[in-house]
């Protein structure tokens, strides 16, 4: 069975066929193909002004591998000490992340991340409040993409932690700094269209990894897939992506429980009727 993935190549992969999602599906007997949806521009000059972020922030929140790449390009890395009270090699920075991919990249950047088990930004925000709320005496440093959702600052604000975007504000806050911008990958739409045309192998499943990926292919979903390819099952990685598809009136066959290759494989196997 044919699975089409609409996503950016994972940071740790050298190319589409080396992407962990492609590999786990291929190893399980599926034909998996990846169409890259986005290119990225990193705002290193803006981030460079935060090299001393620890002086004015209690913690750093990273919700995507791209955010980690952005801060590393700007020279921001985890700070490691080796006093008796801290295990050798551990970072003293309070760093929170979403998912195993971001966790891996954060560790490479020198951090000792917490919260990786959180399946999405909203769950991470709840974890921060319940487990570390009392430790946040200064703002939280939140480098994010320009299309980031407001789940983290919104939940923290509801629980008494206010946020701002590069402007002063009194009290405990989340400082949202735009770390990178994303834009449509050249020829992406044409490649998606070709995958849905007669004469080409038609995918059994199309997997969306982000709300932005859904938005970029909105015209194709409405004009090609929904009316002419109703048998293709759409899978969403995360609740936010699922919600964006449903906003367009597109039926979602399944939502992966967590942002992990194994979680996607489980969903695809269930939909395919595999044991």
Q: Which residue has the tokens 């970029």?
A: 216
If you ran DSSP here, which 8-state letter would residue 260 be given?
A: S
Query: Is the fold of 2-37+185-272 the same as that of 42-183?
Result: yes
What is the dihedral angle through the alpha carbons of 266, 268, 271, 275, rounded to the nearest 10 degrees?
A: -50
> What are the residue boundaries of the structural domains of the chain, listed by start?
2-37+185-272, 42-183
- Residue 243: what pLDDT? 92
- Residue 12: what pLDDT? 73
**Average per-residue pLDDT in the chain?**
85
pLDDT in tens, 229-255: 888 999 999 888 999 999 999 899 999
- Residue 161: what pLDDT? 63
- Residue 39: what pLDDT? 87
3-state helix, strand, coil in the chain (%, to 5): 40, 20, 40
- Residue 41: what pLDDT? 93
Residues contacting 187, CB < 8 A, separation 6+: none
Q: What CATH number should be reported for the domain whose range is 42-183? A: 3.40.50.10090
Q: Is there a contact between 89 and 80 (Cβ–Cβ < 8 Å)?
A: yes
Q: Which two tokens stand for residue 196?
A: 């849905």
Enter the pTM of the model. 0.76
Q: Which residue has the tokens 């999602």?
A: 21
Phi-psi region of 199 (alpha: psi -120 to 50; beta: other; left: phi over 0): left
3-state secondary structure (DSSP) of residue 35: strand
Class of the CATH domain delimited by 2-37+185-272: alpha beta
If you ran DSSP here, which 8-state letter would residue 138 be given?
A: S
CA distance 118 to 47: 26
> Which parts of the chain have pLDDT scores under 50?
84, 86, 88, 166-171
- Which ranges of 217-260 would DSSP assign to H, the alpha helix? 218-220, 226-228, 239-247
């Amino acid at each position: 069975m044919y699975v089409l993935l609409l996503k950016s190549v994972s940071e740790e992969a050298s190319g589409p066929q080396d992407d962990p999602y492609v590999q786990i599906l291929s190893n399980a007997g599926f034909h998996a193909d990846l169409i890259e949806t986005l290119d990225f521009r990193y705002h290193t000059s803006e981030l460079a002004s935060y090299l001393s972020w620890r002086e004015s922030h209690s913690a750093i929140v990273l919700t995507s591998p791209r955010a980690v790449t952005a801060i590393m390009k700007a020279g921001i890395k985890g700070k490691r000490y080796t006093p008796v009270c801290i295990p050798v090699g551990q970072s003293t920075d309070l760093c929170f992340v979403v998912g195993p991919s971001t966790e891996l990249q954060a560790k490479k950047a020198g951090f000792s991340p917490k919260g990786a088990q959180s399946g999405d930004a909203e769950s991470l925000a709840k974890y921060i409040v319940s487990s570390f709320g009392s430790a946040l005496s200064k703002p939280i440093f939140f480098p994010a993409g320009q299309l980031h959702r407001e789940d983290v600052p919104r939940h923290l604000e509801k629980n008494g932690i206010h946020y701002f975007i590069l402007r002063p504000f009194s009290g405990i806050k989340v400082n949202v700094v735009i770390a990178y911008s994303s834009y449509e990958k050249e020829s992406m739409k044409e490649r998606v269209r070709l995958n849905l045309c007669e004469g080409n192998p038609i995918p059994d499943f199309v997997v969306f990894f982000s709300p932005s990926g859904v938005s970029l292919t909105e015209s194709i979903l409405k004009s090609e897939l929904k009316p002419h390819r109703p048998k293709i099952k759409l899978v969403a990685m995360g609740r936010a992506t699922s919600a964006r598809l449903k906003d367009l009136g597109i039926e979602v066959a399944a939502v992966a429980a967590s942002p992990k290759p194994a979680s996607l494989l489980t969903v695809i196997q269930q939909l395919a009727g595999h044991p």
